Amino acid sequence: MNIKVCGITTLKQLQQLDGLEVDFAGLIFYKDSPRFIGDKIDPAAIKNSDFDLKKVGVFVNPEMIEVLDAIDHYGLDVVQLHGEESPEMCEDLSSEVEVIKAFSISSETTNIDALVAPYDAVCDYYLFDNKATDGAGGTGKKFDWKKIADSKIEKPFFISGGIGADDAKLVKAFKHPDYFGVDLNSLFEKEPGVKDMALVLKFKHGLKK
């Protein structure tokens, strides 16, 4: 079970997540997010740090040059595209880094396989989140995971949205051949952009039970 913790805004917390053997850490480059990285961390400090975790840059409908600059300045290993980015953009970026294409799932979403089909050949992972009604990003609430369980998908994917420290048992119980990991964010925070490492550790211990 791979764990991705998103919305990191300090170098210290990146180091702490690395120490907890978290697999992926997300840095949000979307200016309207309360977890926008902005100038909170020196890019060179991140780029020059020796992390075992993968550094993920999260973008929403960015310009290509914005993403390429962030990859260069921060030494990103992965890019997560959380908007309406085209398959062509995913393909272009996949020559630079690994690519996660995120999809927002609502009660009206009926065919997951049709939703992801245009991206099958141009990214490395999918991420499924609960669709926000007032803009980009997630809601901090779970969507109906059965929609995913009943789909073929055929690419490693993360489940995101509304997962808390007490949900380890639920996360372990979910089954799908390509289920790769979970994305943790708002329910693991003391405040936006400040993670509670005790909750991350609690979740990790819960996965081992």
Residue 140 has pLDDT above 80, yes or no: no
pLDDT (0 to 100) of residue 197: 98
pLDDT (0 to 100) of residue 136: 55
pLDDT band at 134 (very low <50, low <70, confident <90, very high): low
- Crossing angle of helices 87-94 and 64-74, rounded to 10°: 30
What is the C-alpha separation between 34 and 84, in angstroms, rounded? 20
Q: Find the mean pLDDT for residues 143-154.
A: 95
Q: Decide: pTM greater than 0.85.
A: yes
**Residue pLDDT, tens place only, 57-86:** 999 999 999 999 999 999 999 999 999 999
Residue 7 has pLDDT above 80, yes or no: yes
Residue 166 has pLDDT above 60, yes or no: yes
Mean pLDDT of the chain: 95
What is the C-alpha separation between 77 and 54, in angstroms, rounded? 6
Query: Which residues are CB-contacts of 59 (< 8 A; sequence separation ≥ 6)?
Result: 29, 30, 66, 67, 70, 79, 80, 81, 82, 83, 85
CA 5, 85, 45, 37: dihedral to nearest 10 degrees? -70
pLDDT band at 156 (very low <50, low <70, confident <90, very high): very high
Residue 19 has pLDDT above 70, yes or no: yes
Q: Find the mean pLDDT for residues 153-160.
A: 97
What is the C-alpha separation between 179 and 139, in angstroms, rounded? 21
**For the chain, which domains are there?**
2-208 (3.20.20.70)
Alpha helices in the chain (DSSP H): 11-19, 43-47, 64-74, 87-94, 112-116, 146-149, 168-173, 197-208
Share of the chain above pLDDT 70, in %: 96
pLDDT (0 to 100) of residue 131: 80
pLDDT (0 to 100) of residue 141: 81
The backbone torsions φ and ψ at residue 2, rounded to the nearest 5 degrees and listed phi first, read -85, 140
Q: Find the mean pLDDT for residues 184-196.
A: 96
Alpha helices in 146-185 (DSSP H): 146-149, 168-173
In terms of Cα–Cα distance, which of 69, 101, 74 is closest to 87? Answer: 101
